[in-house]
């Protein structure tokens, strides 16, 4: 029995609803993971996440290895205990940071040579080292080290990237020692259909516990992202978890669930909240706009989260412009509640075989409720 597995309970077209079985409990799928890069989801306490229905969060092995150190976290009982989170944890390996912090690193066949963004100290992250760090962190799901292909990349660069990812994937599997932790492989290939097929063939031919689609939502056109996401998921085994990495607008999640993905993560709900933007059933709301200065309505009249039942848009706008921490907390709580509710509603729609109607209605509401453009102050 693998350490992490999925049990599909119902399908509607390609969409599927089930349960992800992990060492730290059962997680309903489709699921969205809030991003807690440094072992904390910004502005939210672990019990608040649990109260909103989150049973799994994402953290980053590269950043935690730099500070406070994977060994220290291991000594203190592992990442979930260190965080005080009563649920499962997935750790990203650091492959994305090789792209996002490209000015601080170089990539060879051996691995990624970083210069710490904190103090400039060197860090050589090999596939074996990435697995060792994640084993020390004690995450339920470890991600194989990959070469996250940037966009744009020509066909030759993308081909070299996926070949390197495949070689590193084999090394990650050989390096794994703790069979109580799952290890997922990552498919690359940029926006080239032939390379996506090649990478999927290589990665799914290896004995991973689950599979992820990587290298999307990195600057490519939306249509290309969705085309490659749909193509890739069609080649991933239905018997194992399918994870779409880093894709996370509500509309994209609705589309990807319909493709057959089970797992998602993205910084959008938390990052946008700190920048004054809320996701609502009627589309995005920028609380910074002057049009909200005297608006007594909640962020989302269809939402029963604590901020929506307690605060007006006028008050939240005041808090944001006053620089009050409560603005970030309230908007973050609302956004994460909204994402959790979206997952619950999607699961219910799949189970009742009404997902297509649910998706069309949700997208129609988002499109028809675009807020009026006010003056920014």
**Of 251, 164, 244, 246, nearest in space to 212 by CA:** 244
Report the percent of the chain where pLDDT is more than 90: 91
| In a shared domain, residues 324 and 362 | yes
Percent of the chain with pLDDT over 70: 98
Q: Which of 233, 266, 299 is the last residue of a domain?
A: 266
| pLDDT above 50 (res 65) | yes
Listed residues 234, 266, 298: the one ending a domain: 266
**225 and 345 fall within a common domain:** no
pLDDT at 228: 98
371: pLDDT strictly greater than 50: no
Range of the domain at 361: 272-368
300 assigned to active site: no
Of the residues 140, 146, 147, 265, only one is catalytic, namely 265
Q: Using alpha carbons only, how large is the chain's radius of gyration in Å?
A: 20
Q: Are residues 62 and 124 in the same domain?
A: yes
Distance CA 327, CA 307 (A): 10
- Domains identified in the chain, total number: 2
Residue 92 a catalytic site member? yes
Query: Is 127 a member of any domain?
Result: yes
Q: What burial letters (b/e) apply to 147-168, b meaning 16+ CB within 10 Å? A: bbbbbebeeeebbebbbbbbeb
Judge if 360 and 247 occupy the same domain: no
372 has pLDDT over 90: no
| pLDDT at res. 102 | 78
Taking phi first (over 0 means left), then psi (-120 to 50 degrees means alpha), and beta for anything else, what does residue 84 get?
Answer: left
Between 100 and 130, residue with greater pLDDT: 130
| 41 & 149 share domain | yes
pTM over 0.85: yes
Q: Are residues 324 and 208 in the same domain?
A: no
Buried (b) or exposed (e) across 221-235, using 16+ Cβ within 10 A?
A: eeeebbbbbbbbbeb
Tens-digit pLDDT profile for residues 352-362: 999 999 999 99
- Note the pLDDT tens digit of each residue in 310-342: 999 999 999 999 999 999 999 999 999 999 999
Please tell me which residue in 92, 147, 262, 295 is annotated as part of the active site.
92
Alpha carbon distance 32, 266 (integer Å): 8
Could you tell me which residue, 92 or 104, shows the higher pLDDT? 92
Same domain, residue pair 258 and 119:
yes
Domain co-membership, 16 together with 159? yes
pLDDT for position 377: 31
Instruction: Point out the domain boundary residue: 266, 292, 321.
Output: 266
């Amino acid at each position: 029995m693998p350490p992490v597995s999925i049990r599909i309970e119902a399908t509607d077209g390609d969409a599927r609803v089930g349960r992800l079985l992990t060492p730290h409990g059962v997680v309903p799928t489709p699921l969205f993971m809030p991003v807690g890069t440094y072992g904390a989801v910004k502005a939210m306490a672990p019990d608040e996440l649990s109260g909103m229905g989150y049973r799994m969060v994402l953290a980053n092995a590269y950043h935690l290895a730099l500070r406070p150190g994977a060994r220290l976290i291991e000594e203190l009982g592992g990442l979930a205990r260190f965080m005080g989170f009563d649920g499962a944890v997935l750790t990203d390996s650091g492959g994305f940071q090789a792209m996002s912090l490209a000015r601080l690193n170089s990539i060879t066949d051996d691995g990624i040579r970083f210069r710490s963004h904190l103090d400039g100290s060197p860090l050589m992250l090999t596939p074996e080292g990435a697995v060792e760090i994640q084993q020390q962190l004690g995450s339920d799901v470890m991600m194989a080290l990959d070469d996250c292909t940037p966009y744009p990349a020509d066909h030759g660069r993308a081909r070299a990237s996926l070949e390197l990812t495949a070689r590193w994937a084999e090394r990650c599997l050989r390096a794994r020692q703790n069979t109580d932790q799952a290890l997922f492989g990552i498919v690359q290939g940029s926006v080239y259909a032939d390379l996506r097929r090649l990478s999927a063939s290589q990665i799914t031919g290896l004995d991973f516990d689950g599979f992820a689609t990587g290298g999307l939502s990195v600057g490519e056109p939306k249509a290309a992202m969705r085309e490659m996401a749909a193509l890739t998921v069609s080649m991933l085994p239905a018997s194992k978890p399918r994870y779409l990495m880093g894709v996370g607008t509500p509309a994209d999640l609705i589309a990807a669930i319909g493709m057959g993905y089970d797992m998602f993560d993205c910084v959008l709900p938390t990052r946008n909240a700190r920048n004054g933007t809320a996701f609502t059933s009627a589309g995005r709301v920028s609380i910074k706009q002057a049009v909200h200065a005297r608006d007594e309505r909640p962020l989302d009249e269809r939402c029963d989260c604590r901020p929506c039942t307690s605060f007006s848009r006028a008050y939240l706008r005041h808090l944001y412009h006053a620089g009050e921490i409560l603005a970030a907390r309230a908007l973050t709580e609302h956004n994460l509640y909204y994402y959790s509710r979206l997952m619950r509603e999607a699961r219910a729609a799949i189970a009742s075989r009404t997902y297509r109607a649910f998706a069309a209605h949700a997208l129609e509401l988002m499109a028809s409720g675009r807020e009026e453009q006010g003056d920014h102050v």
